[in-house]
Each structure stands twice: as structure tokens, then as C-alpha cells.
Structure 1
Amino acid sequence: MQYFIILILVLAGYAHADDNDIVLGVHSNTAPLEWRANGVDQGFNIELMNRIGQVLGKSIVVRRKSFQQLIDDTQTMDSDIDMIAVVTPINVRRTLSQSDPIYATYAKAYTRQNDDFIENWSDLDGKRVAIKRGSFVDVYLANKPQHFKIVPVDLYETGFQLLGEGLVDVVLAENFVARRLQPDYPQVRSASDPLIFGTYTFVSQRHKIKLMHQVNLALRQLKLSGEYDKLINKWFGTGREKVDISSTQQKMLTWAIIVAIVSIIGMLFTALVSRNLRIRSNALALELQQRKQAEQQILNLSDQFQAVLDGIPHGVTIFNQQMTCLWSNDAQQLFKLDNFVFVNQHPFDIQKTVQQVLDSQQSFIAEMQYDTQFWQIQIHPIAEQQAVVLLEDNTEQHALRQANDQASRLASLGELSAGIAHEINNPTGIIIHSISLFSQSITDLQAAAESYQQQNPFWQIAGLAPQTAFEELNHSAQVVEDSAKRISRIVNDLKRYALPNTNTYHQLADINEVVQVALRLTANQLKRFQVNVTLHPTPLMIKADVQQLHQVLINLIQNAVHACHDATDTIEIATITDTNKVYIKITDTGSGMDNATVARITEPFFTTRRNEGGSGLGLSVSSRILKEHHAHMQVQSSLGQGSCFTLSFARKCSESNMPKSAQRCHSSTFGNP
């Protein structure tokens, strides 16, 4: 009640203080906002302003000018225009006096029919974009750097014309205007979701803030009374597209007369035909009912038969002698594809094979291959010169056979590696023993050489001065001894890795030593990449079967190598610890894996390197070994960014001085781990 008393007092004061007319500047011809029909100004904004005038006790005078003239009038103190209705971006407030929001709208992109859609602002980069001068789109983009070329136009319709002529690529237009223009420009289409949201508001000159205050009070009163909602429902109600009412009424009247005439003719014709149809319909109804019952019985029987055939786990196809497919539950029919071949890669001709089976009346069975899958095909002759083709997926059985063969080869390779390691150790021991003798001999001969040089100052050894020669001999002997010891160490590592391990034997082991052995065994594969090794400065003891952990680390290192394809790729191996756990992290910057692949990497026989000889057993076996050690493997991977495998083990010792977090003790390009 207090609000309405204040409103009445304010309105009364305004009625005596100002002129009795409010001049509304109008520029649009867009229903349902503002337009003229049969010389009468109409539209939502005009009717809303008239209702505001009634509340204020003032008359509303409509004056039409160009949009630019109206914009200029709001900047001119002596203008004959009191206010105009314009759209303002929702996050931008104009500098002029502005009313409460009237109605929401938006702008979006419009392109030619065959042009690409505009998903976001970046899709406009480099394009020629038509924008109406002074529009809310123009206001929104003011002082904002853009990566497209703005083509200013006086009207949205001018922008549509330029778009049709190919002089611009995109028009950013307000929704209501574009809806009216599109029927006249069939080559133009809506090409984006709303890009800019705005609201219609009344705008006046700065010195008319008192008038705008009164308009806002009247507008709020209309909203509270429900008058505003009635206007919204009238002009923007659901299902009512607002167009030019006069032309629409004339068209509707014409069509109504045509429809009425057609309806009368149709009624007469229908009455004539319906009598004959009624008699015929009664006769057909009984026949139709009987046929439906028979069809339903046949359909039920067919569905039952088809369900049985579709439930067969193998592909079944029946051909006649002319190779016509009589029935099949195999939608793909792989045997008709060119890359469906025998396992020896010989081409397969289904038509020729079926004809041979029919001629000989003998069954045909063969092992086939399609890409990375393996199949067994059977072709059997049946009655009336027909043949049935059975196709069974045999990929898993084939993989099992390959895995068994590979396991046998690996077992043989292990025994052979142990034997070779023993044979290499014998000459290596001889080299180390001989080098020790050579080093002692060089030391003893050095004094004699010095004495002889005094007698023959020009005496040389292998073209070098005696002192230099002895230094080179000592250095060479040391290099040969170090190299022989390295060969012995690598051979011993290989021998331990290859020994049969039928019984799991867990003992205390230093995880740093396990990593170093695995690095020595994979040194030849790692030498092509940048490898950084970071080992904890103190021993990290766990309870484990060392040989099995060697196998796990070698598998992970080899996988990292296979994921890297460029010499700039990096492989990082680190050992770290906390209070209760010991960790090994193997990180690469290779090709990485998607989530679906990560979820399946420990499945037996699952591999992404089938064509390159991968068996799909490495991570499966590694996972089993880690479970036996009560250890865990965590995998983080992204396509194109690489992978990180983290192995965690329970710590079996606790040194009081050991740091709780990882410390870098060795980091270098991999050479001698």
C-alpha cells in the first residue's frame, strides 16, 4: 500500500511538472515489436508504451526515423524524441538513461546454406562479418579485440543482401529481425546457437532521467498488475509467430474460402462413396480378420524358428547352385570379403569352393584369417543342390595355440641362454685372469724400459715414447678388464633370469639392485632413447622373488620402448619410498593409451601390437607376479602424452635415517646404470 501511495504522489507531481506528450522514436518494421499496417502503428513496444502512457496520464506520439537518426537523437539535447526502444547486451549498460528490461532476445550467426556451422567465437576468425551499426551486437563488441573483419551495415537486411551476394561470410543478427528476413532470403540459414543475449529497454537522453524514472515505475506497476504478462502472451505467446497482421488476415480469408469450397465438394463426394464403401467394408472386415489370425500364427512360428537359428553361435548361410543366398544369420558374411583368406594368405573364392562341394558332394573344412581374427569355415552339401556354410570364430583357440608354442620356445630359449651364459663366462674369466698378468708384467718391465731408454734415448714402443706407451698400455689393460667384468656381470644377470623357476622363493632384496639388473638386460633396447634413472640413495629392502621381479621390470621397460618412436622421447625410471611402501615408477613420453586400452592391458592375449608380434602375455604375467608379491600396479596414460606405471611393494625394513620421500642420487642419460 505504501508503494502505491508513493507512486501516486510521484505521478501527480510529474503531471504538473512536464509536458503531456511522450514522443517514442520507432525505427523497426519487425513484428511483433514495431511496425505499421494500413497506416496504423502497431507492435509490442508501441502497445506497451501506450499502456505506460495510460498509467502516467500522458499521450504517446510515435515518430519514425532511421536507426542512426534515432541513435543521434539520444545524443542531442534539443531532439524532438523523448525515448526509443533498443536492445542492450545483458552484461553491458549504455551510458544513456535506461529503463528496466522489457523483453529478452539474442543474436546469432547466419550463413549461406552450404557454409559451415559456427560453434563458437573462434569459428569467426578470418571471416567477413556484417554487423549493424549501433546495434546491441555492435555495442557488445565495442573495445573488444576480434580476429575477424567487421563489415558495418545500416540494416540487418543489408547484411543479408551482402551475404547472398557473397560479399560477407557471416551476419550477426538479432533473432526477431532475422526471422522476418529469412523467408525473403532462402539462401540464408541460421548457423549457430545464441552468441549474445540482450534485452529490449527504453533509452532516453541523460537529462530526462526523471521521465525514465516515471516510466520504470509505470512498467513495474504493469508487471505487478499482470497487464505486462497479458501483452507478452498476446505478442509472444507459445505457438503464435507474429507477422504482418493485415496481409495475414487477407491470406487467411482467401484460403478459408478455398478450403470451404473444397470441403463442400469433398462432403458430397464422400457421401456418395461412403455408401458403397460401407457395404464393401463389411464384407472385407470378416475376410481381414481371418487373414490376420492366419498371419499371426505363421508369424509366431517364423519368429520361433528364427530365434532358434539366430541363437546358433556360428554363422550359417545356405546357397543354391546359382550362389543365391537362400537364408543366413550372418549379416556380415565375411567369406565374401577380399581380405578373408586362408591362414597361409592364399586367396579364398567362396563361389568356386561351393561349386566344388556341390560337384563332389564332399564336405570342405579349412582354417581362415580375416585381419587379426581367425575362423574355421565348413561347407557341407545338402539336398536339392544346396550347400550350407558354417563359420566359427577360432581366434581365441588360435591365440592359445600360439601362446603355448611361444611358451615352449621361451622355455627352450631359457635353457639355451643358460648354456650360452656358461660358455661365455669361461673365456671371460680367462680374459680377466690374463689382463691381471699383463698389468703386473707392465709394472715390472717399466723399470727395465727406463734403464734401456737411458742407453738409447731414441728408443720407442709402438711409435710412442716409452713413458707414454706404458701409460697407454696400463689404460688399455684397465679398459679390457672393466669390459670383461661388465660382460661377466651381464651374462650372470642373463643366466639368473633364464634359470627355471618352478618354486617361488622370496627373500630380502634391494629394489635398487633389481632395477639395475633389469636395465643391464635391456641396455641394447634403451640405447636409442633418452633414459633418466633416479635411484634412492639408500637400499630399499622388500621381500620378493628377484627373478620374477626382473621379468616384471623387463616387460615394463620393453613396453615403454615399444611406445616410443622418436629419439627425442624420454624414459624415466625411479625408486622412491615413504614410511611403509617402496615404489618403482617407469614413465615414458611415447604414444600412450586410451581408457579402453588401459582397462584391458592385463587381460591374457590382449595386445595392440598383434601385427608386430605381440603376444598379449607380458602384462598379464606381470600382473600375476605382482599379486603373488601382494604388490600393486597403477597405470596413468593419455593418448599422445605417454604412460606412467607405478609399482608399490610393502617395505620390509626401516632405516632410522632414511628419508621419507624420494631423493635423486643418480640422473643421467642411460649408459652404465
Structure 2
Amino acid sequence: MKILLFVLLLLSFPLMAKDTIVFGVHSTTAPLEWRDNGVDQGFHVELIGQIGLLLDKDIVVRRKTFQKLLTDIHQPDTDIDVIAVVSPTNVRRRLTQSDPIYATHAKAYTLQGKDFIDDWSDLAGKRVAVKNEAFVDVFLAGQPQDFTQVTVDLYETGFQMLISGEVDVVLAENFVARRLQPKYPSVRSASDALIFGAFTFVSNPKNAEQLRQINDALRQLKISGEYDRLVNKWFGMGREKVDITSTQQKMLLLSIVISIISAIGMLYTFSVSRNLKYRSEALVLELQQRKEAENKISLLSQQFQAVLDGIPHGMTIYDNNMQCLWSNDNNELLTNSQFKSLDGAEFTLSERVLAVIKNQKSMIADMGYLAQYWQVQIHPIADNQAVVILEENTEQQHLRRANDEASRLASLGELSAGIAHEINNPTGIIIHSIALFAEAMKDLQPAAEYYQQQNPFWLIAGLESKAAVAEMVHSTEVIEESAKRISRIVNDLKRYALPHLSSHHQATNLNEVVNVALRLTSNQLKRFQVELSLAEPSPIINGDAQQLHQVMINLIQNACNAIESGSGIITISTYSDKKAAYISISDNGSGMDSATLKRITEPFFTTRRSHGGSGLGLSVCSRILKEHHGEMKISSTLNQGSQFVLMFSLINEELKLATSIERSNSAESNQ
């Protein structure tokens, strides 16, 4: 009986240990350890609190500096029982550690504009700030270094030294750096993860038994799902839970009970039989749990495979021997000789994949195949493995080019409007001045004739006075007419460059639309014979003159591009019937085949891509005609020419009369 009491006393000894765990906290790093309105919170603080509940112990949070915590935890008489620190995944600290709590990593940080750090070799010759006794410092201990290590007390001190130019690079843990970067916007992340580590609970070796209890509680929290709840709360992610250890703990407890009963020699047979019964039930339960877990894992695997197979982009996984481990695509395009970079460089799949696996750095490249565009992404996913993702982005490339072309055209329109304004001012001065010269020549002509009679040998610019005066009168008329022609072209250009308002439709003279377009394209048309036939009176429609100018200019330019200089004839006419008004433009150029004719109004389709064509001209014309409730009929014969007929609804008589009056008033005001 005394022996039994002694054994029970030994079993209850852990329950008589101190009922408080002092948890040392050194930072304000959200979401790990931080304080809000004086309340200690964070993942580590809440996790140790849950462990305290399982162990029936109070948790006291005590904040000290990082260096003070490290010093105290090494002292046997310390007032700190346990702290949470990061350890490199391949290096263990001298202190007693728990199971890993949460994974993290460290990478390089530099000032904005500095070079990226691709690997350790890029740190050679640089001054690198490392926090004293942090997991980066532990990882680097005893390893050869090609850089100068500058020890700092805090990562924030390293950031401050980086800004002041005292160091070139800071190696910092991810969670701390993310908190500091908003305070130091000139500091940026300059590398992928260089060191991987994990948070663990650490205590002095004298508290090994207490840390074992903490570790058991930590495992129980992971099994119960409470750990996943905390991870989801503070980090937004969790892990799958498969309970395969509870049976082992029960077995261990039963084994202890059996050992105690065996030691005291009491009820041996009964204890053994009960133990066998419990064990059989536990094994049955374990088998059932394992089958359920296997079924869940199998279902999850099938779902994951279905998701991968349903991804619209090609995905392939290779190892370092270029063996295809998995794919949802046939991969023929990746090895096609026509599959090249946009700059024409050859693409060798094996070289790119092996480089990504070796450097552990992703690669993204835009590629071309015939008339298509593709994007290739290669990412390292595991030891000696990489995933290749192939995505077609032909439409995005076309839209990007169209946007660039539209930006250039918009800039050109703004520039044209500005130039037109600048030209209009001196043109007005010329017109005003030449009118004065013309009036003056009328008054000077009698004086010149009189002086000629008095001095028969008098010459003006080497000419007889009568011939010289006639030449000057003719020159003033030519100058005035030329200046007015410049003014008309400038006004047409200004109207063409005005901002477009889709709802600004009004009575529009089709003959005037044609004349404006001819003036704006006169430089291109001078190489061809233009036959013009305009209906009188001019057809009037309800529309936007600026947009119709754009349509006509585009059609005239297309006609010029379709025929050879010196031998081409372009015919333009306007006419109407009782229901509609028409503009016809035809040429005797190269014409189009039936395949081209079917696609002529498609966006981005062009037969002049090599000459800078964007394939948007006729598409925009078609859109403008739809906004005007009009139609465009196209007929073409290869090597004979093409004809474009634009059909519009006629305006009603009242609006036509109002337009006529408005034009008359405008003409009188101009006079």
C-alpha cells in the first residue's frame, strides 16, 4: 500500500509544479507579438494562452528587449520561462526547443533603385546589416562570408543605417520587415527568400520538463483544430487535420497503468485482460480513423487533379532531368522551332527550366508563334522541380498595341490643333495686310503712269512700270488667295481635331464633308487623278461632321494606298434619292479578294501590317456609321479596284431649312 501511494505521488508531481508560465515578449510585430491599447495580443501570445488553459497554468506576459530576453533565457535563475524565437530550418539552438510553431523566412532589403539580390554571390563586397543573435545571425555563424557583416541590435536600426548609407543591404525576417516598410518607403524588398526558418518556443534547459508539457499541449492544439483556428485568425490560412496520434497517447497512458499494476503485483490477470480489451477497441478505432483519413485524402486528391485539369492554361511539371512529371497539355508548342521570343531570340525549354531550378528564381517571358502571342512562366516548386505555365495573350497584345496607337493619334490630334492655332494668327495678318496692299496698288497705279510719262526710262524691279504694276496686282491676288486657302485648311484641321461628343449630331452638308476631307488629304491626292461629282443641292443628313470627316479621310487614304502613283483614278460623288443620301468613293487599285473582303471591318485586321497599318481604320469607320444609323456597302474585284458606298437617312425639310438659314447667316457674318 505504501508503494502504491509512492507511485501515485510520483504521477501527481507534475500537477504540483508552479502554476504560472512567464512568457517573454520582445517585439511589436503584427500579427505575432504586439500591443494594442495596452493589451498584449498576437499569434504567439494567444497560442501560449491556449497552452496555459490546457496545462491549467496562468500565463504572465513580460516584455523585455530582444538582447535582454536572450541573455535571461541562458541564465538558470532567470525569471523568464519561455520565449518564441526563429531558428533556421537546418540549425538548432543550444537551448531547449519545442516543435515548429510557424514557418517564416528572411530576405534582402535595399534602397529603391538599387540592384536586386538574386543569390548569395550578389552580396559579395557589400556591407550587410544582421540583427545580433537573430536567426539570420545564427544561420551565418561559422559559415564563410564574402561580405562585411554589420551587427545591429534591431532590424529597424538596420533600416535606418541603410537610409543613411552606413550599410548596403539588410537581411531581415519577413514579418518584421513587412511592419517596418510602411515607415521607411525608400526601402524595398530586393530578393526572394534567402533563409528559411521556423518559430519555436525556447526555454532554459532547467525547464525541459515544462517545455515538454508545452510541446504536448501544442500538439494537442494542432490535433483538436484550435491551432488551425489561430492560424486562420492571424494569418488567414490553416492546414488539414488528421488525428493519428490520440490512440498512441491512450496506449502510452494504458502502458503506464499496466506497468504500475505489474510493479505492485496486484490484479495482474484482470489488468492484462482489460488492457487487451482497451487495446483491441483502440486498434479498431485507429483502423476506422485511418480509413476515413485515406478516403478524405483520396477525395481531396481527385478534386485537386480535376481542378488542375480544368485550368485553361497549359501547365507542366518537370524535374532536373527534363522528365515530364505531370501535364494537362501536349507541350508541343514549347518545343516548336517557330516558338520564339518577341525579339526573335530562340527559346530552348530545357535551358530555361534548368536555369530556374538551379537559381530557384521564377522566369516570365512573352513569346510569339506565327501570328499568335503567348506568355511562358516557369516557377520552382520543389527540390529539383519546376512548373511551366503557358498562356495565350494574343488579344491582350493587340489591345495594348491598339491603345498605343490611339494614344499616338490623340497626341497627334492635340498637336495638330495647336499648330493650326499658331498658323491661323500669321495667316490672318497676311490676309489683312495684302488687302491693304491691293487697295494701295489701285491708288498708286495713276501715279505710276504719270511718272512713267515724265520719265520714260523708269523701271520697277527691272520691268516697265505698267508691266510691273500689273505683276504686283497679280501677286497680291495670288498671295490673298493662297492665304485664304491656308486659312480654310487650318480651320478644317481645327474642326477635325475638336473633342468628339457622340450626342452632338446636327444638320450636316455632305458636299462640305467631302470638300473638307479633300483639302485635308490634298498632299496625298496630288499624285492621282481625282474625279469629283457633287449633287446640287447638297444632300443634308443629321450627323457629326467631325466624325464624317474622319470616315472620308480614312477611305481616301485607303484608296491612295491601293493604287500606284501616276496611274490611279479616284472617283468621289454625292447623290440622293427620296429616302437616302449617298457618298461613293471608288478607285482602280489592287482590289481585294473575297477572304479579305469578309474581314475588312474586323478590328486589328489589316493587309498592311508591314507598312505600319493597325487594322483599326475601317473598324472605326463602321462604328461611326452605326452611330449615324448608316450603312457601308463594299464591292471589290482583285486587280481591278474597289468601291465604298456610304448610305445615310435624309434629314427632314424643316431641319434642312433651318440649316440653310444658319449657313447664310454665318456667311454674312464672315463677310
TM-score when normalising by structure 2: 0.48
